[in-house]
Copies of this chain bind each other. A is one copy, B any other.
Amino acid sequence: MSTFGQYFKVTTYGESHGRSVGCIVDNCPPGLQLSEADIQPQMTRRRPGQSALTTPRDEKDRVEIQSGTEDGITLGSPIALRVLNEDQRPKDYGGGGKNIDAFPRPSHADWTYLEKYGVKSSSGGGRSSARETIGRVAAGAIAEKYLRVAHGVEIVAFTSGVGPEHLFPATKTHPNQSANPAFLELIDKITREKVDEFLPVRCPDETVCNSMADLIAQYRDKSDSIGGVVTCVIRNCPSGLGEPCFDKLEATLAHAMMSIPATKGFEIGSGFGGCEMPGSIHNDPFVKAPAVPPAEANGHASEGAAAGRRRPRLTTKTNNSGGVQGGITNGAHIYFNVAFKPPATIGQAQQTVGYDEEAGVLEAKGRHDPCVIPRAVPIVEAMAALVVMDALLAQSARQSARSLLPVLERTVPVSETESKLLKES
């Protein structure tokens, strides 16, 4: 299926050789101020060839709203978004090479698409092109706008690993980033503006960023490629999001992230490192939540937004859980890592076998992107926004339906303290 989400539904379309790529966003709340200007920045961050020094006004990948708004306000009807494919010379896709038609590219989707569909587009993997992500980023920007305006949600991703270079490598004292104060401090503050100060790598630490840039340059010079890790944090996410069984928030996040081309892994909170921690240390004890400063609350209210938003009264002392417990958000920062493999299309000659089952050498022409991590940053942010938005609408329906029921005389659990507390909620 080409649709993501059950409440906030995004359906994308488009290959690189067609007229356009884009999507339809269904069930966006009505009454949201929205124009192309809200969407374009992330589209532009997704494009190749960016750097901190040179940000020429890029006229490409301009998004166009087809429907669903009037006078800059969403109507509640489907929002169709479209980006023209300006250059549709099929021969050039996938890195060209005169023998590209004879060989399925190793670790690319040429072969599996042919197995699946029995036909093959001139661009090889068809929808497996990076261009497919344009619709996701456009839709994600709409979700993000809503989440920011209505709930103050902030989503920021950044490059945390390129090949063996890591922003927070495991150390004796801090074997795991979830226990590393420097990591926790970073995700508490990091902004997209800060991340983009470190273009083109997008790793928000000057030393590490430079090492990564060097590493990427080395692979580029060898006509080779290298993978890496993107880390993402979601702040101010309301508690109570995520469904308890199959659609736990970490499950839909994993689904979303592993649907981005070239991903090989996902971990949330303590992640794989958490397997090595004892429960007594891994568990996040509860602490009383700080009161929300009236100034902040007001500031938000004056944006007409967070009024009535329910704040957790408890929070956790540590956050090995990554903001999600039992599949449901607890109001703490949600953070996760996504692993990307090295790009499959490389300039080096590759010994392989052709569609005719004869061995041969595939030689790609031209320059190829040696590392996709920096460009993956806005895609990870977009998919995170789609997941949270979908979970939010699911929970809104539930809470809103419940709010019309009579207050329970007593709720299910029986201790006195709890009973008292619940009656007040």
A270 to B341, CA, bound (A): 8
Rounded to whole Å, the gap between the CB of A61 and the closest CB of chain B is 15
Query: Is A15 in contact with B264, judged by CB distance below 8 angstroms?
Result: no
- Selected contact of A1 from candidates B9, B225, B305, B326, CB within 8 Å: B9
Query: Is B66 in contact with A14, judged by CB distance below 8 angstroms?
Result: yes
CB closest chain-B residue, reference A6: B1
Chain A window 405-425, contacts with chain B (Cβ cutoff 8 Å), 1 for yes, 0 for no:
111100111110110111001
Residues in B with CB closer than 8 Å to A343 are 279
Query: Is B258 in contact with A18, judged by CB distance below 8 angstroms?
Result: no
Residues in B with CB closer than 8 Å to A278 are 163, 219, 222, 224-226, 342
- Selected contact of A254 from candidates B18, B226, B258, CB within 8 Å: B258
Query: Is A68 in contact with B13, judged by CB distance below 8 angstroms?
Result: yes
CB closest chain-B residue, reference A396: B400
Residues in B with CB closer than 8 Å to A76 are 116-117, 119, 398, 402
- Check A120/B314 contact, CB under 8 A, given A15-B75, A264-B269: no
Question: Which A277-325 residues have a C-beta within 8 angstroms of B?
Answer: 277-280, 282-288, 303-310, 312-314, 316, 320-322, 324-325
Query: Is B417 in contact with A279, judged by CB distance below 8 angstroms?
Result: no
Chain A window 310-354, contacts with chain B (Cβ cutoff 8 Å), 1 for yes, 0 for no:
101110100011101111111100000101111110101011111
A276 to B339, CA, bound (A): 10
Question: Which A235-259 residues have a C-beta within 8 angstroms of B?
Answer: 239-248, 250-259
- Selected contact of A265 from candidates B13, B265, B314, CB within 8 Å: B265
Residue A397 interfacial (CB < 8 Å): yes
Residues in B with CB closer than 8 Å to A402 are 29-31, 76, 117-118
The residue in A270, A400, A422 that gathers the most chain B C-beta atoms within 10 A of its C-beta is A400
Rounded to whole Å, the gap between the CB of A273 and the closest CB of chain B is 8
Residues in B with CB closer than 8 Å to A247 are 1, 259
Query: Is B339 in contact with A78, judged by CB distance below 8 angstroms?
Result: no
Query: Is B107 in contact with A328, judged by CB distance below 8 angstroms?
Result: no
Rounded to whole Å, the gap between the CB of A319 and the closest CB of chain B is 10
Residues in B with CB closer than 8 Å to A190 are none
- Selected contact of A277 from candidates B21, B64, B227, B257, CB within 8 Å: B227
Query: Is A287 in contact with B353, judged by CB distance below 8 angstroms?
Result: yes
Rounded to whole Å, the gap between the CB of A379 and the closest CB of chain B is 13
CB closest chain-B residue, reference A354: B417
- Selected contact of A282 from candidates B258, B261, B342, B418, CB within 8 Å: B342
- Check A404/B306 contact, CB under 8 A, given A13-B79, A102-B417, A125-B326: yes
Query: Is B272 in contact with A17, judged by CB distance below 8 angstroms?
Result: no
Query: Is B285 in contact with A77, judged by CB distance below 8 angstroms?
Result: no
Residues in B with CB closer than 8 Å to A274 are 227, 264-265, 339, 341-342
Residues in B with CB closer than 8 Å to A325 are 107-109, 111-112
Residue A210 interfacial (CB < 8 Å): no
CB closest chain-B residue, reference A164: B276
- Check A401/B393 contact, CB under 8 A, given A119-B30, A163-B275, A344-B279: yes
Query: Is B286 in contact with A353, judged by CB distance below 8 angstroms?
Result: yes
Query: Is A248 in contact with B244, judged by CB distance below 8 angstroms?
Result: no
A169 to B341, CA, bound (A): 20
Query: Is B244 in contact with A286, judged by CB distance below 8 angstroms?
Result: no
Apart from A2-B77, A227-B282, A270-B341, list 17 A-B contacts with CB within 8 A. Answer: A1-B27, A3-B9, A3-B246, A11-B78, A20-B80, A21-B67, A77-B126, A101-B418, A104-B286, A127-B245, A163-B278, A227-B275, A247-B259, A251-B256, A286-B353, A288-B353, A393-B398
